[in-house]
Amino acid sequence: EDSLLADEESLDLADGDRGRRQLWLYLLSLPLWVAVVFGPTVVAPALLGTEIDGSTTMVGIAGVGGVAVVAAAILWLGSGIEERLRMALICYSIPFWTIVMWYSYTQQMPRGQYAVAFLGGILGLYVLSELDEPLIEG
């Protein structure tokens, strides 16, 4: 199998300063997405003692902003299609699995919507993991 994650090698970072920035991107992705998902929905209501009106909208806006910032960082730090796709797969799987774990704990979303979102997310991550070969050959 020739997908991005099929090889059994560890993730190689670039040499020098660029590799250090790539590592920081990976390390900061988790707190970024945890803050985006849990900030308006869990942390702020716990601190304020009440639910925030429009917290779903805040999560959506913060999510779009997070995707844009991470995409710009990937384009800036990555070199070549395969490296950029691998970085995107790692960085974008974090919010997906964070939301999956959040739902399994709270079960606030209707099951049908959750199932569609879960399967769509898995399909999106799979497509992202398989894109390198057609793009490199094309």
Residue by residue, pLDDT tens for the chain (138 residues) are 555 556 566 667 778 887 888 888 888 888 888 888 778 777 878 888 877 777 778 878 888 888 899 899 888 888 888 888 888 888 888 888 877 877 777 777 777 877 887 888 888 888 888 887 777 776
How far apart (Å, rounded) are the C-alpha atoms in residues 93 and 60? Answer: 17
| Domain annotation covers residue 95 | yes
Q: How many domains does the chain have?
A: 1
Q: What is the pLDDT at residue 72?
A: 92
How far apart (Å, rounded) are the C-alpha atoms in residues 91 and 109? Answer: 24
Q: What is the pLDDT at residue 107?
A: 74
pTM: 0.67
- Are 4 and 132 spatial neighbours (Cβ–Cβ below 8 Å)? yes
| Domain annotation covers residue 35 | yes
| Domain annotation covers residue 3 | no
| Domain annotation covers residue 36 | yes
Which residue range(s) make up the domain with 123? 16-137
- Are 77 and 88 spatial neighbours (Cβ–Cβ below 8 Å)? no
| Domain annotation covers residue 66 | yes
| Domain annotation covers residue 6 | no
| Domain annotation covers residue 96 | yes
Structure tokens at 112: 């049908």
| Domain annotation covers residue 9 | no
